[in-house]
Amino acid sequence: MADYETPKLLADVPVVVVPNIKPGAMSHSSPYVAKPDHNIPLGFPGELVENWQEAAIAKMGDILQKYRSIQVYLDSCVKCGACTDKCHYFLGTADPKNMPVARQDLLRKVYRRYYTFAGKYFPKLVGATDLTKEVLDDWYSYYHQCSECRRCSVYCPYGIDTAEISMAAREILDSIGYGQKYCNEIIAKVHKIGNNLGLPGPALEATLEDLEDDIKTDTGVDVKLPVDQEGADILLITPSADFFAEPHIDGLIGYAKVFHAAGLSWTLSSYASEAANFSMFIGSYDNMKRQAERIRKAALELGVKRIMVGECGHAWRAAYSFWNTLAGVGHGAADDDKYARMLQKQLDPRFPVPQHICESTYDLIQQGAIKLDKSANDHRRVTFHDSCNVARASRMGDMPGGQFIIPREVIKAACNNFFDMAPETIHEGTFCCGGGGGLLTDDLMEVRVKGALPRMQALKYVVDEHKVDTLAAICAICKTQFAKVLPYYDFPMHMILSVHQLVGDAVILGSND
């Protein structure tokens, strides 16, 4: 049994009350430290290096040079306090170090000590501190209590993005061999095998064949889940959770049914079988690039015309915001990057590169290329959770706010009973599920449960008001996190599902078989 209490939900309000602070409430929370087997394949030292202090300060200097935004963020905070009550981890734990400004200060006080005139000569006056082992351990603990959700940045008058600061801190920690096991172990699996699960090609093929049989049994229709099909039009890059776990797998079935109903030619890749890019969570550009280049290689080898991304929040951020600079997917890349140029020539310019699966499904619905029977979901009363990385770090479609409109329009096309949560808890103000940013590990269960509090409160309100029984999401991390934490708040774990499960249950398969 857990040795902490799940926070209590309130009646009749969509938003939690700001707690009285409890200093040190979460100082014990730290994820398992990565071992040499996890670190070395990523190019990091196997374990904490002897000269860690000197190396960490030097790495901080590199980052300040490379990313000017970090220095601007560290210099420009005026301590106005607008962000203090905006973090779900503060709201759920009451630990003042989980206030975004305090989280930034953990790095800021060391930055001031070594990289500002005042901090070098008058440290006490400006709150500058030496980088001691105690400070380093505080970094390790509290930078792993940030899901890099960017909610605080929405409310900061200077736009200071604590997520970027957390990524920089984790980059420093990894550079001295003090990284987090969960993320680094997963990234190493992607480099070696192609997906977070370490699922090899033959196992993936067998899983997809089983799913085809299941769909045939359910519907009587031969819906295919092709893999490594050279010459297919669309390469679907989806989170590997879609291949094995509930509720994700029903979303994958939904994608396949949509492609089938629309008569689209598509394939998965066994080489690039992962949309997630956990390297973003640890701030490692080099590892992000290696992961993105796997996708480019698969697209080139398969000769596809389009690249589509399945339901995954941070994967969509990596694809939408970074694939172009990481791998020249879509546009960008140096003139002499021949593989980027080859892919840019190969892809069909009539479609967005990359394209979100919801964008594609939305377009197909608008064009009448697929038909949905909404009554198939009449037994459900549905709400939607905006995932942080889609809501605040990317966009969808060619309309402002498309990332909010498109998934809702897809849901409304697939079911009759849709109810949004309270306005202050959705869209760009959405609350994180509590498990993003590389925190989706059992060794961080307490912070995950407590960090889910604001979302659970908003959910309770819509459940009480509208008898909602289904929570739809478009992020693999959100789905896994909710399946785990919903029961802590007395909701059934099965109320979370994929948006494309709703679509898959409603889509009319027609005669495309």
- Residues engaged in binding ligand SF4 (CB under 6 A): 77-83, 86-87, 89, 100-101, 103, 146-152, 156, 158, 160, 162-163, 166
CB of 335 to ligand SF4, least distance (A): 36
Quote the DSSP letter at residue 124.
Answer: G
Per-residue exposure over 38-56, b if at least 16 CB sit within 10 Å of its own CB, e if not:
bbbbbebbebebeebbebb
Task: Phi first, then psi: give them for residue 473, nearest 5 degrees.
Answer: -145, 160
CB atoms within 10 A of CB 119: 21
- Specify the residue, 281 or 316, whose C-beta has the smaller distance to ligand SF4: 281
CB of 84 to ligand SF4, least distance (A): 7
Quote the DSSP letter at residue 306.
Answer: E
- Specify the residue, 152 or 463, whose C-beta has the smaller distance to ligand SF4: 152
**Cα atoms found within 13 Å of the Cα of residue 351, Cβ hemisphere only:** 23
- Specify the residue, 79 or 350, whose C-beta has the smaller distance to ligand SF4: 79
- Specify the residue, 93 or 361, whose C-beta has the smaller distance to ligand SF4: 93
Q: Are strands 382-384 and 266-267 parallel, antiparallel or unpaired?
A: unpaired
Quote the DSSP letter at residue 319.
Answer: I
CB of 170 to ligand SF4, least distance (A): 12
- Specify the residue, 68 or 350, whose C-beta has the smaller distance to ligand SF4: 68
- Specify the residue, 260 or 455, whose C-beta has the smaller distance to ligand SF4: 455
Longest CA–CA span in the chain (Å) reads 77
CB atoms within 10 A of CB 461: 22
- Specify the residue, 312 or 432, whose C-beta has the smaller distance to ligand SF4: 432
CB of 90 to ligand SF4, least distance (A): 7
CB of 92 to ligand SF4, least distance (A): 10
Q: Are strands 234-237 and 470-473 parallel, antiparallel or unpaired?
A: unpaired
> Are 98 and 87 a contacting pair, CB within 8 Å?
yes
CB atoms within 10 A of CB 375: 10
CB of 454 to ligand SF4, least distance (A): 10
| Burial classification of residue 112, based on how many CB atoms lie within 10 Å of its CB (0-12 exposed, 13-18 middle, 19 or more buried) | buried
CB of 145 to ligand SF4, least distance (A): 8
CB of 489 to ligand SF4, least distance (A): 19
- Specify the residue, 80 or 125, whose C-beta has the smaller distance to ligand SF4: 80
Angstrom distance (rounded) from CA 332 to CA 124: 46
